[in-house]
Amino acid sequence: MAEIQEFFSILDENGNEIKCQTLLMFTSPQSEKDIVIYTDNTVNEDGLESIYASYYCYDDEALRLLDIDNEADWVLIQEVLKEVTQEDGEEA
> Residues 44-77: pLDDT tens digits?
999 999 999 999 998 887 889 999 999 999 999 9
Rounded distance between C-alpha atoms, residue 92 and residue 78, angstroms:
21
Q: Is the pLDDT of residue 89 over 70?
A: no
CA dist list (Å): 92 to 8, 12, 23, 76: 28, 35, 18, 25
The pLDDT score that the predictor gives to residue 58 is: 87
The pTM for the full model equals 0.84
Q: Is the pLDDT of residue 2 over 60?
A: no
Nearest to 66 by CA among 78, 75, 57: 57
The pLDDT score that the predictor gives to residue 76 is: 96
Number of separate helices (H) and strands (E) present in the chain = 1, 5
Q: Work out the number of other CB atoms within 10 angstroms of the CB of residue 60.
A: 5
The pLDDT score that the predictor gives to residue 3 is: 63
